[in-house]
A and B are shown apart, each in its own frame.
Chain A
Amino acid sequence: MSLRDVLSPFTAWKHVIDTPVTIQDPFNREAADRYRGFHQNDMDKCIGCGSCEEICQNDAIDMVPVEGQNAGPGDSGLRPMIDYGRCCWCALCVDVCMTGSLTMSNEYTWVDSDPDAFRFIPGVDGKSWDLEPKGYQREDTRRLTGTTRAPMGEMEPEARIGNFDEIVDGFTREQAVIEADRCVECGLCVATCPAHMDIPDYISKVRDGDYEGGLQILYETNPFSQACGRICTHKCETTCAAMHEGDAIAIRWLKRDITDNVPRERYFDLIQKPDVPETGQKIAVIGAGPAGLTTAYDLARKGHKVVVFEALDKPGGMMRYGIPEYRLPYDVLDHEISVIESMGVEIRCNMRVGHEISMQQLEKAYDAVVLSIGLHQGRSTRVPGSEKAEAAIDLLRRITAGEEVPVPEQVAVIGGGNVAMDIARSMARLQKVKYDKVGVTITALEELDRFLADAEEIKEAQEEGCVIYPARGPQEITLEGENVTGLRTWKVKAIFDDEGRFAPKYDEADEMVHPAQMVVEAIGQMSDISLLGAELTEKLEWNRGRIMIDADGQTSEAWLWAAGDVTSGPDVIHAVADGHRVARSVGKMLATKREKLQ
């Protein structure tokens, strides 16, 4: 022992002249600054994810509905109620809180003869310590759940621009586990997914490595999980609990991880048609896109006979003929559709309803008809020379079909949405192959930060050499005889008028001519409804140019339903959700019909 150790007790004597630290009145003694006392909860921040309830080892927390807090995107509307008869003040709930809304004041003394007073909802049932700044808050550096998204490998721009190979690698097992581990399984995202996929359940399967179980969960809500795992608009990720204090969970990539990790032939064992009696009832589906095929999948699994009529050479709709191969490879789609066919769905390609067969024939021969024809006509700007323009979706379809499309050295694309990016990037690839260089110009009315396209699509297009001119309005497609020479644009001053109507205003002095031997219009699509014929068109009820449907997708005709882009849109997962709704509605009608016959 050193001398200092021996003397140190006596050094305390030097404090005898200090003000005493003992407190005269122990009943009104304030706790230490970081003391863990009664909770506080910021109602504007709390999202009702229930992570606090889940982690509490004393079962002290109940998530309960609260007046004035409504369920909505990314908020369950529930709030934690704490039973202080059980709480041990450990603060695990504060440490896990996904938003930082939950904190603890340093108030810990409170006397009441009613034990139920000690069960309350912090932040809702007002308390004197609600605004107390002292107490326990989670240190910013300490998180129980990971905040950073696992990295995703993808092909570098130089490697991908000369081909149509898939860009995104998919997670490795290590990356998938890191990402799955970050999910707190709150389920807030489920409400946002149009098809209400059971996201937390399948993410937990990724974590456990049970890919086959995961696949079965995916198929309960989505027979296009492989496609959606790649190209879904992933709106679910915009309401993920993890986004408040870090990156949202990569839900889409985790879905893909499951589908990539089940061997293709195993799908047919895992996703089997339920053992149900044949009903003998028949449904015709028009259009083999995600809406039609989901309807077909559901109805076939209930024992009905389903025939899908498809105008084009192959099924898949815009997933095949719109979305480029580098985002969704054809073999993935082929496999996905083969699972649907294994339910007994019959797909008849090269059968355009209105040509090869009429609506009247279908109405007669089938118990129900589902119209899911999508939007396959490009809209035109109607500026002078626009009759010489190409429609983006036409070009994309021809590229998919392997048709020869003209590939000039310079291409100008009109439009700032995802379709514009898809055609721009597809043409860029063809140019790279033909000329070893890219010459694509993209013009759109909007400023770049208001483009409708996803940010990553814009970034990737730029990386691949496409040049974007935002806030430019098309005035003319310039011609020399029959040949396109360029696109003349004016600077956009405003897109909408004071009442919010579309009425672009231009600065005519700021004119540009973008040299191009091909101009592509990618400003929207519409349905080709000529298949309906005059009589049916007349009979149906319409709503602003779209066929009117009820909440279940039924039209004003008792035998006809409509689903997908043709009535609503705008993406694959909405089409899938529509398909489920319509299938249920059709199924109900068929059941009633059967009962009547019995």
Chain B
Amino acid sequence: MRELLYRLKDRYHLGTPTFQRDDLTFVTVKRDELRAILTELRDVEGFTHLTFLTAVDWIEEGLFQLTYMINNREANQSLGLRVMLTREDEPGATTGDTIHDLWPTAATYQRELNEMFGINFPGSPRVDEEFILEGWTDLPPYRRDFDTLAYSQQTYRERPGRGRSDPKAHMQETLYPDYPKPREAAHAHKEEAK
């Protein structure tokens, strides 16, 4: 794997690779070189299989990371190519470059990413069709700015009879109800002053 990366390094800009396991390596590539690298790996280096395509939301850095996991069965090697995209707040405004013509299965992954992250892949077949979410109107749910808890609270009714206690308050009530409460002094005086 090292040897392969050395060869590629002459012609492409590669980041520092992570050798995760003997059979698994990650490396970051430039967006405009991705297609050339993928094609070369597929056609020349035996990475014939696209295992998956997925994304990570680096919201603090303003980036989406795409990971193209490809596999060379003969050599039993997996290589994850990472591409960083500028993260636009508007769902669908961030676009990646479709590779469905290299691997037809990519269209499905790209459709999923469009739905779950709002990363669009113009030209990818059926990319705007619903994938697993039906009638979704909120932010794409895998985005880090999607508030899962708030969504579930707004969307799903609570069963009647629910109630909860806060550990700190519960212990205060049961273990030391008579100890002066922190803000008591100030409040008590306001009452007195009235």
Interface of A with B (CB < 8 Å)?
A: 1-2, 4-5, 48-50, 53, 56-59, 62-65, 70-72, 76-78, 83, 85-86, 115-116, 119, 186-188, 190-191, 196, 198, 200, 220-221, 274, 276-277, 298, 301-303, 551, 577, 580-581, 583-584, 587, 591
Given known pairs A2-B48, A119-B159, A581-B179, the reply for A191 and B171 (CB within 8 Å) is yes
Let me know if B48 and A77 touch, CB within 8 A: no
Interface centre among B175, B176, B184 (most CB of A within 10 A): B175
B137 within 8 Å of A (CB atoms): no
Beyond A63-B166, A77-B170, A583-B180, 6 additional pairs, beta carbon < 8 A: A48-B167, A64-B165, A188-B171, A191-B172, A301-B185, A584-B180
User: Quick one: which of A1, A63, A85 contacts B164, CB cutoff 8 A?
Assistant: A63
Let me know if A200 and B165 touch, CB within 8 A: no
Of all chain A residues, which has the CB nearest B162? A62
The digit string for B127-161, where 1 denotes a CB below 8 A from any CB of A, is 00000000000000000000011001100101101
Interface centre among B49, B163, B164, B186 (most CB of A within 10 A): B164
B183 within 8 Å of A (CB atoms): yes
User: Quick one: which of A116, A186, A191, A220 contacts B159, CB cutoff 8 A?
Assistant: A116
Let me know if A5 and B152 touch, CB within 8 A: no
Let me know if B48 and A5 touch, CB within 8 A: yes
Q: 5 nearest interchain CB pairs?
A: A187-B168, A76-B167, A62-B164, A57-B148, A220-B182
B32 within 8 Å of A (CB atoms): no
Of all chain B residues, which has the CB nearest A277? B193
Given known pairs A301-B185, A581-B179, the reply for A4 and B73 (CB within 8 Å) is yes
Chain A residue numbers with a CB within 8 Å of B166 are 50, 63, 187
B7 within 8 Å of A (CB atoms): no
Given known pairs A86-B152, A274-B186, the reply for A78 and B168 (CB within 8 Å) is no
Given known pairs A4-B74, A86-B156, A581-B180, the reply for A57 and B149 (CB within 8 Å) is yes
Let me know if A50 and B180 touch, CB within 8 A: no
**22 examples of A-B residue contacts, CB within 8 angstroms:** A2-B48, A2-B74, A4-B73, A50-B166, A53-B164, A57-B148, A57-B149, A57-B152, A59-B153, A59-B156, A63-B165, A63-B167, A64-B163, A70-B174, A76-B170, A76-B171, A188-B168, A190-B172, A274-B186, A577-B179, A587-B188, A591-B192
Let me know if A276 and B189 touch, CB within 8 A: yes
Interface centre among B48, B74, B178, B179 (most CB of A within 10 A): B179
CA separation between A5 and B176, bound complex, in Å? Answer: 71
B46 within 8 Å of A (CB atoms): yes
Interface centre among B172, B182, B188 (most CB of A within 10 A): B182
CA separation between A577 and B181, bound complex, in Å? Answer: 11
Chain A residue numbers with a CB within 8 Å of B162 are 62, 83, 119
CA separation between A513 and B186, bound complex, in Å? Answer: 60
User: Quick one: which of A76, A115, A551 contacts B178, CB cutoff 8 A?
Assistant: A551
Chain B residue numbers with a CB within 8 Å of A587 are 185, 188
Given known pairs A65-B170, A577-B179, A581-B179, the reply for A85 and B159 (CB within 8 Å) is yes
User: Quick one: which of A48, A62, A196 contacts B179, CB cutoff 8 A?
Assistant: A196
Of all chain B residues, which has the CB nearest A86? B156
The digit string for B87-112, where 1 denotes a CB below 8 A from any CB of A, is 00000000000000000000000000
Interface of B with A (CB < 8 Å)?
A: 46, 48-49, 73-74, 148-149, 152-153, 156, 158-159, 161-168, 170-172, 174-176, 178-180, 182-186, 188-189, 192-193
Let me know if A580 and B180 touch, CB within 8 A: yes
Chain B residue numbers with a CB within 8 Å of A298 are 185
Interface centre among B152, B176, B185, B188 (most CB of A within 10 A): B185
Chain B residue numbers with a CB within 8 Å of A274 are 186, 189
Interface centre among B49, B159, B178, B193 (most CB of A within 10 A): B159
Chain B residue numbers with a CB within 8 Å of A71 are 170-171, 174-175
Let me know if B170 and A188 touch, CB within 8 A: no
CA separation between A10 and B165, bound complex, in Å? Answer: 60
CA separation between A63 and B166, bound complex, in Å? Answer: 7
CA separation between A53 and B163, bound complex, in Å? Answer: 12
User: Quick one: which of B73, B165, B182, B189 contacts A2, CB cutoff 8 A?
Assistant: B73
Of all chain A residues, which has the CB nearest B163? A62
Of all chain B residues, which has the CB nearest A80? B164
CA separation between A450 and B153, bound complex, in Å? Answer: 53
Let me know if B167 and A58 touch, CB within 8 A: no
Let me know if A58 and B152 touch, CB within 8 A: yes
CA separation between A513 and B153, bound complex, in Å? Answer: 75
Of all chain B residues, which has the CB nearest A196? B179
Let me know if B167 and A5 touch, CB within 8 A: no
CA separation between A83 and B158, bound complex, in Å? Answer: 9
Let me know if B172 and A65 touch, CB within 8 A: no
CB distance from B171 to the nearest CB of A (A): 4
Let me know if A584 and B184 touch, CB within 8 A: yes
CA separation between A489 and B49, bound complex, in Å? Answer: 81
Let me know if A186 and B168 touch, CB within 8 A: yes
CA separation between A186 and B158, bound complex, in Å? Answer: 24
Chain A residue numbers with a CB within 8 Å of B189 are 274, 276, 302-303
CB distance from A98 to the nearest CB of B (A): 11
Of all chain B residues, which has the CB nearest A71? B174
CB distance from A187 to the nearest CB of B (A): 3
Of all chain A residues, which has the CB nearest B183? A220
CA separation between A363 and B182, bound complex, in Å? Answer: 30
Chain B residue numbers with a CB within 8 Å of A277 are 193
Chain A residue numbers with a CB within 8 Å of B170 are 63, 65, 71, 76-78
Let me know if A196 and B176 touch, CB within 8 A: yes
CA separation between A485 and B88, bound complex, in Å? Answer: 82
CA separation between A196 and B184, bound complex, in Å? Answer: 13
Let me know if B159 and A83 touch, CB within 8 A: yes
CB distance from B104 to the nearest CB of A (A): 13
Let me know if B171 and A187 touch, CB within 8 A: yes
Chain B residue numbers with a CB within 8 Å of A77 are 170-171, 174
CA separation between A76 and B156, bound complex, in Å? Answer: 29
CA separation between A57 and B186, bound complex, in Å? Answer: 37
Let me know if A187 and B165 touch, CB within 8 A: no
CA separation between A577 and B183, bound complex, in Å? Answer: 14
Of all chain A residues, which has the CB nearest B182? A220
CB distance from A133 to the nearest CB of B (A): 29
Let me know if B182 and A191 touch, CB within 8 A: no
Interface centre among B162, B176, B186, B189 (most CB of A within 10 A): B189
CA separation between A188 and B166, bound complex, in Å? Answer: 10
Of all chain B residues, which has the CB nearest A198? B182
CA separation between A44 and B153, bound complex, in Å? Answer: 32
Of all chain A residues, which has the CB nearest B184? A584
CA separation between A507 and B142, bound complex, in Å? Answer: 73
CB distance from B142 to the nearest CB of A (A): 13
Chain B residue numbers with a CB within 8 Å of A65 are 165, 170
CA separation between A76 and B46, bound complex, in Å? Answer: 59
Chain A residue numbers with a CB within 8 Å of B161 are 116
